[in-house]
Amino acid sequence: IKVTVVEPSGERTELTAPTDMGLSLMEFLKASEYPIQATCGGMALCATCHVEVLDGPELREPSDDEAYMLESLPTSTSRSRLSCQIKLSEEIDGIVVRIAAED
């Protein structure tokens, strides 16, 4: 699937992501050497994997845990999601995410 990443600097990169490895978007971004801390390791507890979804397919609604974290995040917007809670799958093919600037 195609994943387009927009860095805080505005630079856009289109990547091809595997859907058969059970990875989350957070794990994929980390593996692609984007500055995602993911301190909690994908438990929806730290919000350092925060991204803004700029475009692409409709995503599933956030879980209560994710919604709670996003609400408590001062830099979150209506497009914010925790990338650890998004699985790489055909459902998100064509997604465009902006990596949040370091807080």
- Is 100 a binding residue for ligand FES by CB under 6 A? The answer is no
Residues 63, 85 contacting (CB under 8 angstroms):
yes
Residues touching ligand FES, count (CB under 6 A): 14
Q: In the range 13-72, which residues lie near ligand FES by CB under 6 A?
A: 26, 38-40, 42-49
Closer CB to ligand FES, 14 or 31, in the complex: 31
Contacts of 41 (CB under 8 A, 6+ apart): 84
- Is 99 a binding residue for ligand FES by CB under 6 A? The answer is no
Give the ranges where the chain is alpha helix by DSSP (H). Answer: 25-31, 64-71
Lay out the site mask for ligand FES across 79-98 (x = CB under 6 A, - = otherwise): ---x-x--------------
Residues that bind ligand FES (CB under 6 A): 26, 38-40, 42-49, 82, 84
